[in-house]
Amino acid sequence: MLPKVIRIRFAKRGRLKFISHLDLCRTLQSAMIRAGLPLWYTEGFNPHPRIAVALPLPVGCESECELLDVRVTELPNLELTVKKLNEATVPELEILEAYEPVTKFSDIGFAQYEITLELPFSEDLAELFSGPVIVAKHTKRGDVDTDIFPMVKSISFAPKGSGTFCRALLFASPESYLNPEYIVRAIEKQRGLDQYAFEYSVCRTGILDKSGKNFR
Amino acid sequence: MYPSSLLRSVEKPGRYTGGEYGQVIKQKDGVVARVAFCFPDIYEIGMSNLGVRILYGLLNEMEDVWCERAFAPWVDMEAEMRKRGIRLSTLESGDELSVFDFVAFTLQYELSYTNVLNMLNLAGLPLTSAERGDFALGSTPIVIGGGPCAYNAEPVADFFDLLLIGEGEEALPELVRLYIDMKKSGAKKSEFLREAAKLEGWYVPSLYEVEYNADGTIAAVTPKEGAPAKIKKRIVTDLDKAYFPEKFVMPYIETVHDRIMLEVFRGCIRGCRFCQAGMIYRPVREKSPELLDKQARKLFENTGYNEISLSSLSISDYTCLRELTEQLLSWTEAHKINLSLPSLRADSFNDELMARISSVRSSGLTFAPEAGTPRLRDAINKNITEEEILSACRTAFAAGKNSVKLYFMIGLPTETYEDLDGIAELTQKAVDEYYRTPGRPKGRDVTVTISVASFVPKPFTPFQWCAQDTIDTLREKQAYLAEKLKHNRKVRYNWHEAKVSFLEAVFARGNRRLSKALIEANRRGVRFDSWDELFDYEAWMDIFKTVGIDTAFYANREIGKDEVMPWDIFDIGVSKSFLRREYERAMRSEPSKNCREGCLGCGANRLGGERTCCPRL
């Protein structure tokens, strides 16, 4: 019997931001078992469910729009699935929607982020992103100075209380993906501050396809 | 909750976030007693402990009690906390330990003692019971402890207000109930401790005066203020009626034992003479398979774990193992749940058992001959033959395994170099067995891993009187074995660092005089001694020198037959005369029967117990 796929949209909030992608997958898997989802298991020596998350979220980042595909042996009642999953997990990991997907994760092009910085707003922030922005990017070969500007689709800054609010649309396809943390690194560098010198929060608020439309 | 900027800067922040599915949150003003349950090691280790899960669930069943968790922060987190002046708090409420009614430590191994002190220090609490002073209940935490090391917690006695000797399922709620009553009536710590000392199993170290002889041995231990002369171990007589959690806190990060742990029975029928667990958990008490199956189903529904581990000492001694595995396998396979049976004895390992556990994933198989010759195995009462060990290997190989792991111990009382030769020979025989086994994995070579620990004499064992080999002797023995095995590429040889086993021995048979070494260690920032990368032998030697402790007195000395031992004030059921009889048989290399073959009169049946193999009194 061919497995069916259901797509689950969920939020990852608060302290859950510190849970890594792999740990989140294990957490979701046990939650799906607790919720009694008819999970499809791989054949073979070590059967396991097939779960795929659209854009693994960096540690430290919250999200209102995570997407996960899971294979099931039969299609369950989707509304009931959302309810049961929410009973089987913590409020900070909220299941928002379950549906049969018509798109592929490879169609994703961009991700939208909201970044709140406990740093006074100043005009030069916008100037920072008007040309090449060099930050030390972690790679397998160590930290490499990289220009992140080509991976920023759009970015804006505004004062918010005593701090600064930033909205950024970043490339998020397998060919070109920018971790939103690098926006913060660039700002730290501009201000001459140490890493983790001030509080900030990053939240992914939207996933868009390659034409810039909301991805479902 | 710790600030985000702090958590962003440490490795594995999931250790410190809390907020897991299954954690218990209560209203602070709705409870009378708040307990901070502390495991003196990192989250991944502490969350793997079944006792923590049992007692957490149990205390939170009490309406007016809220039990929360705290673990030792790893060194990166500790450094940040100290830099920012942040104190140790619990995962649930994020409140500092100092606001709790109880700070409760579980003492699982001696090398975690420095972590206990470090956690108290990180909580801003004075280290000793005396320094914390007398106070109205509720204004400062009562510091309590329990677990296997409590059976001789004399080295940490000064730091604790109360220690539990034995099992906590009944004793802990009793203590908390007493506390709640006395807190409501405005009692002070000193009054509470005097009352608590009357509860069975609870030891109040400050109510005992220890006097020493000129040679450093104990002259007398005198109880004060009506405290009992002997503290009797507390047990749960009927495990079927004991509390067992129906749900677990589900860790986000991977822990050491991240699975359903089903406790099948307590105690052990075997009586290996080096083994403390085999004595202190007596009498053997089994749970019924029907109840275990019910509890496993409930835990699966509530956790979603895909592995169930049957937990006990020597699982194959469970009289209903076949019934239990049949009941479990009837439903676990459909849910792709693995069944794992740790602690298998080689003499029980046969094709039938293999079929049961190979139907599901299982990691490598481990057997514990402990000693290399039949003579020494008799002396330690391991009661296992070479043929049984090789037959167990054969079964594993025939079922498709191309590796086994064998546990040995060196430095055992009565050991000679012949016994070390025996380890090398037995290992080689296990390798040969592979190539003689029809149906072994085709075209693959075998790996026999031998893991060699050093003997540590422990209180309440027949070997409690024995000296530990010196570090130099242990190292010579390790090197001797390495030389014997070095050309064998099919053997992987691991050994434990002798210096670590030595420190363990010092504290295992220690007395109250060691507390000043622990205080000095804490002052110097020593902790995580059970972690190879942080264990600092030179620092310890310097500490002992500074405070004037002769370590050989504790680790490398044969204790006299009539000497008062620091742990003589505890009555664990098993009698000292039985332990001495077993010691004398060991010196003659004579094995003893196991509890099912015939009762040796150890005395544990005085404590009672249901579904046990002991003769009724």
Instruction: Tell me how far the alpha carbon of residue B454 is from its chain's centroid.
Output: 17
* Same domain? B65 vs B134: yes
C-alpha B171/C-alpha B235 separation (Å) is 9
Residue B566 lies in a domain: no
Under 8 Å CB pairs connecting chains A and B tally to 72
* Same domain? A95 vs A134: no
* Same domain? A127 vs A172: yes
C-alpha A96/C-alpha A66 separation (Å) is 9
C-alpha closest to that of B307 among B243, B257, B253: B257
Give the residue with greater pLDDT, B342 vs B564. Answer: B564
Q: Over chain B, what is the mean pLDDT?
A: 94
**Which one of A12, A196, A198 would you mutate to disrupt binding with B, by most B Cβ within 10 Å of its Cβ?**
A196
* Structural contact between residues A27 and B253, judged by C-beta atoms closer than 8 angstroms: no
Domain count, chain B: 2
C-alpha B25/C-alpha B182 separation (Å) is 25
Query: Cα dist. B142→A129, B192, B438, B515 in Å?
Result: 57, 10, 62, 19
C-alpha closest to that of B460 among B566, B382, B378: B566
Residue B548 lies in a domain: no
Residue B17 lies in a domain: yes
Residue A21 lies in a domain: yes
Give the pLDDT of residue B356. Answer: 67
* Same domain? A119 vs A205: yes
* Same domain? A200 vs A113: yes
Domain range for A158 is: 108-209
Q: What is the CATH number of the domain that holds A193?
A: 3.30.70
Contact A21/B at CB under 8 A? no
* Average confidence (pLDDT) over B542-561: 97
**Residue A141 burial (CB count, 10 A):** 6
* Structural contact between residues B460 and B579, judged by C-beta atoms closer than 8 angstroms: yes
Strand runs (DSSP E) across chain A, as ranges?
4-12, 51-53, 61-72, 93-99, 108-117, 134-139, 142-147, 152-160, 163-171, 200-209
Q: Model confidence at A2, in pLDDT bands (50, 70, 90)?
A: confident
Paired tokens of B449: 């891993």
Contact B86/A at CB under 8 A? no
* Same domain? B173 vs B314: no
Report the chain B residue with the minimal C-alpha distance to residue A88. Answer: B21
Give the pLDDT of residue B316. Answer: 86
Contacts of residue B254 in chain A, CB cutoff 8 Å?
23, 26
* Same domain? A96 vs A25: yes
C-alpha B286/C-alpha B267 separation (Å) is 9
Residue A215 lies in a domain: no
* Average confidence (pLDDT) over A6-28: 96
Residue B72 lies in a domain: yes
B355, pLDDT greater than 80: no
Instruction: Give the end of a domain, one of A85, A102, A119.
Output: A102
Task: Give the percent of chain A with pLDDT over 70.
Answer: 100
B604, pLDDT greater than 50: yes
Handedness of CA A151, A156, A160, A162 (dihedral sign): positive
Instruction: Give the end of a domain, one of A55, A73, A102.
Output: A102
Inter-chain residue contact A16 with B19, CB threshold 8 Å: yes
* Same domain? B114 vs B185: yes
Residue partners of B289: CB distance under 8 A and separation at least 6:
B320, B323, B324, B327
Q: Considering the entire predicted model, what is its pTM?
A: 0.94
C-alpha A134/C-alpha A149 separation (Å) is 8
Instruction: Tell me how far the alpha carbon of residue B257 is from its chain's centroid.
Output: 14
* Same domain? B373 vs B461: yes
* Closest CB to B250 among A14, A30, A60: A30
C-alpha B216/C-alpha B609 separation (Å) is 39
* Average confidence (pLDDT) over B30-51: 97
The DSSP symbol for A18 reads: G
C-alpha closest to that of B233 among B281, B270, B285: B281
Instruction: Tell me how far the alpha carbon of residue A145 is from its chain's centroid.
Output: 24
* Same domain? A120 vs A64: no
Query: Cα dist. B362→A93, B241, B367, B441 in Å?
Result: 32, 31, 14, 16
* Average confidence (pLDDT) over B303-325: 91
* Same domain? B299 vs B352: yes
Instruction: Tell me how far the alpha carbon of residue B265 is from its chain's centroid.
Output: 16
Using one digit for the tens of pLDDT, what is the confidence trace for B159-196?
A: 999 999 999 999 999 999 999 999 999 999 999 999 99
- Three-class HEC string of B225-283: CCCCCCEECECCCCCCCCCCCCCCCECCCCCCCCCEEEECEECCCCCCCCCCHHHHCCC
Residue B611 lies in a domain: no
Q: What is the CATH number of the domain that holds A80?
A: 3.30.70.580
Residue B545 lies in a domain: no
Using one digit for the tens of pLDDT, what is the confidence trace for A116-148?
A: 999 999 988 888 998 999 999 888 888 899 999
Domain count, chain A: 2
Domain range for B314 is: 260-496+573-604
* Structural contact between residues A110 and A202, judged by C-beta atoms closer than 8 angstroms: no
Residue A216 lies in a domain: no
* Average confidence (pLDDT) over B340-347: 76
* Same domain? A72 vs A112: no
Give the pLDDT of residue A195. Answer: 85
Residue partners of B55: CB distance under 8 A and separation at least 6:
B37, B67, B104, B106, B168, B169, B172
* Same domain? A92 vs A181: no
* Same domain? A135 vs A114: yes
* Average confidence (pLDDT) over B29-57: 97
Q: Give chain A's length.
A: 216
* Same domain? B342 vs B482: yes
* Same domain? B349 vs B446: yes
Give the pLDDT of residue B361. Answer: 46
C-alpha B495/C-alpha B479 separation (Å) is 10
Considering only residues 534 to 573 of chain B, which have any Cβ-Cβ distance to chain A shorter than 8 Å? none
Give the pLDDT of residue B359. Answer: 45
Residue A79 lies in a domain: yes
C-alpha B284/C-alpha B290 separation (Å) is 18
Q: What is the CATH number of the domain that holds B49?
A: 3.40.50.280
* Same domain? B304 vs B423: yes
Inter-chain residue contact B304 with A30, CB threshold 8 Å: yes
C-alpha closest to that of B37 among B148, B168, B152: B168
* Same domain? A66 vs A96: yes
C-alpha closest to that of A150 among A125, A179, A170: A170
DSSP per-residue string spanning B111-142 = GGHHHHHHHHHHTT--SSHHHH---BTTSSPE
Inter-chain residue contact A48 with B336, CB threshold 8 Å: yes
Contact A87/B at CB under 8 A? no
* Same domain? B331 vs B440: yes
Give the pLDDT of residue B442. Answer: 84
* Same domain? B337 vs B401: yes
Using one digit for the tens of pLDDT, what is the confidence trace for B248-298?
A: 999 999 999 999 999 999 999 999 999 999 999 999 999 999 999 999 999
The DSSP symbol for B564 reads: B
* Closest CB to A30 among B4, B6, B305: B305
Using one digit for the tens of pLDDT, what is the confidence trace for A39-85?
A: 999 987 778 999 999 999 999 999 999 999 999 999 999 999 999 99
C-alpha B599/C-alpha A25 separation (Å) is 51
Q: What is the CATH number of the domain that holds B341?
A: 3.80.30.20
* Same domain? B227 vs B271: no
* Average confidence (pLDDT) over B142-146: 98
* Same domain? B102 vs B168: yes
β-strand pairing of B33-39 with B65-71: parallel
Name the CA radius of gyration of chain B, rounded.
Answer: 24
Q: Model confidence at B357, in pLDDT bands (50, 70, 90)?
A: low
Considering only residues 9 to 38 of chain B, which have any Cβ-Cβ distance to chain A shorter than 8 Å? 9, 13-14, 17-21
* Same domain? A90 vs A123: no
Strand runs (DSSP E) across B147-227, as ranges?
162-164, 202-203, 208-212, 218-223
Using one digit for the tens of pLDDT, what is the confidence trace for B379-427?
A: 999 999 999 999 989 988 988 888 999 999 999 999 999 999 999 999 9
B362, pLDDT greater than 60: no
Give the residue with greater pLDDT, B315 vs B578. Answer: B578
Q: How many helices (H) and strands (E) does chain A have?
A: 4, 10
